[in-house]
């Protein structure tokens, strides 16, 4: 598909879309490409890595054919972005069961707290090159 790191996200989640918009804004070197978990590309990648195709509770990073999920994915994205945001990677020393417990609480309540769209985000013409189909 691509050699660039791929971020898979829940395309109907407002929080997830805000996170993608944040990365798009501050990823000046255009390191990352994106696919919603619901898209054909997202479904293909979920199958490739033997992940559930209907459970959209995880933020996923695929980098050099390595899979990162949940809090680990978010921290690796922060590290790759560089700049001030990369300091967040320091939280990688926190045991994963603690990081992912917090992540799971947010993921479980994200629609209630942040809302949900009826359909996946459609990127603008300028951003379409950054999204896998």
Domain boundaries, the chain: 6-130
Count of alpha carbons within 13 Å of 46, Cβ hemisphere only?
21
For residue 120, the model assigns a pLDDT of: 64
Mean pLDDT along residues 32-45: 94
What's the CA gap between 21 and 115, in Å, rounded?
16
According to DSSP, the residues that pair with 57 across neighbouring strands are none
* Contact in structure between 28 and 123 (CB atoms under 8 Å): no
pLDDT score of 1 more than 70:
no
CA 87 vs. chain centroid, Å, equals 18
For residue 60, the model assigns a pLDDT of: 95
pLDDT score of 23 more than 90:
yes
For residue 49, the model assigns a pLDDT of: 93
> Helices 96-114 and 70-81, interaxial angle, to 10°?
90
For residue 121, the model assigns a pLDDT of: 64
pLDDT digits over 104-128, tens only?
A: 999 999 989 999 877 666 667 777 8
What's the CA gap between 67 and 72, in Å, rounded?
9
For residue 119, the model assigns a pLDDT of: 64
What's the CA gap between 89 and 77, in Å, rounded?
9
Interstrand relation of 33-36 and 6-9 (parallel, antiparallel or unpaired) = parallel
pLDDT digits over 44-96, tens only?
A: 999 999 998 887 778 899 999 999 999 999 999 999 998 999 999 999 999 99
């Amino acid at each position: 598909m691509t050699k660039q790191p791929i971020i898979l996200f829940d395309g109907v989640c407002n929080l997830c879309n805000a996170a993608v918009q944040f990365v798009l804004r501050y990823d000046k070197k255009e390191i990352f490409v994106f696919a919603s978990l619901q898209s054909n590309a997202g479904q293909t990648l979920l199958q490739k890595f033997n992940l559930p195709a209907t459970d959209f509770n995880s933020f996923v990073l695929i980098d050099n054919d390595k899979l990162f999920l949940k809090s680990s994915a978010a921290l690796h994205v922060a590290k790759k972005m560089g700049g001030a945001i990369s300091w967040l990677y320091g939280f990688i020393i926190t045991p994963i069961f603690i990081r992912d417990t917090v992540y799971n609480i947010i993921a479980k309540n994200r629609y209630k707290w942040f809302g949900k769209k009826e359909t996946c985000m459609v990127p603008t013409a300028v951003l379409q090159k950054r999204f896998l189909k």
